[in-house]
């Protein structure tokens, strides 16, 4: 997965020798002796050996954050988020559905992490692959509203990977929320938190718009040091 023992140890707040010891215990079946957070990480790594470095880093950080050990001591990401309304044409979206997922972590637990590299390899895609929240009319029986997706032009046809599907989308207006770039990928949890805080309080009605979650797909593009945290949500004009 590309993460060094040093990096994992720093995130888990343990020494390298201790981390090596836990790995040995895991390989010897002595799981009851392993720190609970380290055990969660090792079990996930075993289930998904092709997990990319940034996904492994994200998972490790979220595990530690569940204990409240990621409270930032200083601001590493600027608290600035821009909001831009963008008219989107008719287009298509490549989807990989889930059965029970409700967010990024549960989605990756269910489907693995290969979806991102598969979708980002699609030619003529409009943007990066994202975790998406589907409106109810696009949810199939036995599946969740949480999926992954990447948009392509309406006239684009290509070989659809097994398990994926390609559906047509009508024109719409999307509100793109973009956070500030930052130094160091280890700060992306903070970047995402800042973006989510902005989304929670943003009132589009002030500018003549209304959220339109019941009719459009919401996109969570995650975060990167170069691009910042990014999301896109459907909106429509107030009548």
The dihedral over CA atoms of 19, 24, 29, 34, expressed in degrees to the nearest 10, equals -20
Q: 97 with 125, same domain? A: yes
Domain end (from 118, 151, 169)? 169
From 166, 154, 195, select the one nearest 178 (Cα to Cα).
Answer: 195
Average pLDDT rounded to a whole number, residues 55-78 = 61
Count of alpha carbons within 13 angstroms of residue 219, beta-carbon side: 25
Percentage of residues in the chain having pLDDT higher than 90: 56
Q: Are 223 and 178 in contact (CB under 8 A)?
A: no
Q: What is the pTM of this model?
A: 0.75
- The pLDDT value given to residue 68: 41
Question: How many domains does the chain divide into?
Answer: 3
Number of H helices, E strands in the chain: 7, 9
Q: 121 with 146, same domain? A: yes
Q: In the predicted model, is pLDDT for residue 71 greater than 50? A: no
Percentage of residues in the chain having pLDDT higher than 70: 87
Q: 229 with 126, same domain? A: no
Q: 102 with 122, same domain? A: yes
Instruction: Work out the mean pLDDT of the chain and round it to a whole number.
Output: 87
Range with the lowest mean pLDDT among 21-30, 84-93, 154-163, 183-192? 183-192
Average pLDDT rounded to a whole number, residues 11-38 = 85
Q: 41 with 52, same domain? A: yes
Q: 105 with 38, same domain? A: no
- The pLDDT value given to residue 38: 84
Q: 147 with 210, same domain? A: no
- The pLDDT value given to residue 2: 60
Q: 116 with 160, same domain? A: yes
pLDDT, tens digit (0-9, with 9 covering 90-100), for 111-156? 988 899 999 999 999 999 999 999 999 999 999 999 999 999 999 9
Range of the domain at 214: 74-89+171-239
Q: Are 57 and 3 in contact (CB under 8 A)?
A: yes
Q: 50 with 164, same domain? A: no
- The pLDDT value given to residue 72: 45
Q: 165 with 98, same domain? A: yes
Domain end (from 169, 188, 216)? 169
Domain end (from 109, 134, 169)? 169
Q: Which residue reads 């998904």 in tokens?
A: 48
- The pLDDT value given to residue 214: 94
pLDDT, tens digit (0-9, with 9 covering 90-100), for 155-171? 999 999 999 999 999 99
Q: 184 with 83, same domain? A: yes
Q: 161 with 100, same domain? A: yes
Q: Are 49 and 156 in contact (CB under 8 A)?
A: no
């Amino acid at each position: 997965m590309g993460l060094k023992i040093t990096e994992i140890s720093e995130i888990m707040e343990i020494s390298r020798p201790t981390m090596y010891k836990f790995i040995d215990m895991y390989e010897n079946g002595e799981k009851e002796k392993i720190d609970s957070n380290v055990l969660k990480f090792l079990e996930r790594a075993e289930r998904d050996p092709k997990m990319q470095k940034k996904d492994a880093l994200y998972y490790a950080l979220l595990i530690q954050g569940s204990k409240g050990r990621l409270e930032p001591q200083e601001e590493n990401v600027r608290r600035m988020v821009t909001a831009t309304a963008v008219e989107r044409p008719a287009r298509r979206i490549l989807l990989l559905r889930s059965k029970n997922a409700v967010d990024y972590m549960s989605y990756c637990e269910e489907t693995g992490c290969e979806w991102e590299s598969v979708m980002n390899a699609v030619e003529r895609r409009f943007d990066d692959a994202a975790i998406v929240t589907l409106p109810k009319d696009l949810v199939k029986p036995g599946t969740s509203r949480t999926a992954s997706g990447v948009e392509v032009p309406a006239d684009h046809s290509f070989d659809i990977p097994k398990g994926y599907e390609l559906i047509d989308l009508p024109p719409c207006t999307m509100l793109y929320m973009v956070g500030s770039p930052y130094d160091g990928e280890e700060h992306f949890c903070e970047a995402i938190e800042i973006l989510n805080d902005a989304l929670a309080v943003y009132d589009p009605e002030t500018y003549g718009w209304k959220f339109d979650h019941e009719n459009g797909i919401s996109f969570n593009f995650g975060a990167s040091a170069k691009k910042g945290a990014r999301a896109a949500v459907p909106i429509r004009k107030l009548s």
